[in-house]
Amino acid sequence: MEGQGFLKIHGLQNFNNSINQSKKQFELFWKTSEPVFSILSYYLNQKIRQLQLYFSYILTQSVNLEGKIYIKTQNKFVDIYPDIVCLREYSLK
């Protein structure tokens, strides 16, 4: 977006800053993580939100759900990524 003439328009400055910040976070995220793990975390976070919504209708108490992924080569469970930068807002569909 650099070099665009509309960058100097005051009303778009906050929007442009937000996009640039998201872009930096997204690039850092993809450089430092495994894409398959990221996509699987995204999918599991969607399922967790769906289950929490479902449980909120049938239970009087709130339920806290967390996701973990088993890594067979390391023989351990690891936490999934929290709602991932960009992937939740910019759906994989």
**Confidence label for 89 from pLDDT (cuts 50, 70 and 90):** very low
Sketch the domain layout of the chain as residue ranges: 33-93
Nearest to 38 by CA among 92, 76, 1, 77: 92
Instruction: Report pLDDT digits (tens) over 2-30.
Output: 555 555 666 777 777 778 877 776 676 66
> Which parts of the chain fold into alpha helices (H)?
10-32, 35-58
- Neighbouring-strand partners of residue 77: 70
Instruction: Report pLDDT digits (tens) over 75-88.
Output: 989 888 776 554 55
**What sign does the CA torsion over 32, 34, 38, 44 have?**
negative
